[in-house]
Amino acid sequence: MKVGFFLSLNDVILSVNYDERSVYMSIKIDKEERDNNINLVVSNDNGEQFRIHYAGGDLYWTMTDYKKDNEFVVEKKDICFYEEMENIFKLIGEDFDYIEWCSEAYGELENANKLLISREDEKFIIKFYHNPNRLFNRKDICAICFCLSGSNKQDIANEFSSMFYRVCSKVNSKKRAR
């Protein structure tokens, strides 16, 4: 049985179907710099990717070219990201198998996109869930907001923000063409 820690604006539990039959795909992390902005780009073996970046003072994990069956697996060999995932789980408590974060953008909890990070054996699995009822809906983008100026789970949102900077300091930059 999976034990989860649900993170949302109002601590409302919103369930996401969790498929335990996963095909593992390793990740690759690059850092892009453009116009003094930094994006971390996380890619899997299928060519899917998401970006971790700041917009409007908040942290976002954004998957462009959203696909329903996306999956990003963080293994121990992905040392800098793996250690950061361990830190997040230590912050919420060792007894949890997964974290479900409801995007805090626009205050629309019942229509929020969701991020699921599960811990299995010595892997972390990251999945994005796009809510088709979301305000300002774009079917090809799944954005997850960590509100840094008023989250109900401010300590955890801040830890995700700190994680961004720690990973940035360990990953080599690639200049992105305009």
**Is 0.75 surpassed by the pTM of this model?**
yes
pLDDT in the model for residue 27 = 72
16 within 8 A of 112, measured Cβ to Cβ: no
pLDDT band at 47 (very low <50, low <70, confident <90, very high): confident
User: What per-residue string of b and e applies to 12-29 under the rule 16 or more CB within 10 Å gives b?
Assistant: eeeeeeeeeeeeebebeb
| pLDDT exceeds cutoff 90 at 28 | no
pLDDT in tens, 98-123: 999 999 876 667 788 999 999 998 99
CB under 8 A, 24+ apart: contacts of 83-87: 84/163, 84/166, 84/167, 85/117, 85/119, 85/124, 87/159, 87/163
Q: Which residues pair with 44 in a beta bridge?
A: 27
77 pLDDT above the threshold of 80: yes
CB contact set of 12 (below 8 Å; sequence gap of 6+): 6, 102, 109, 110
Residue-range domain boundaries for the chain: 4-175
Per-residue confidence band for 17, with pLDDT thresholds at 50, 70 and 90: very low
19: pLDDT confidence band, cut at 50, 70 and 90?
Answer: very low
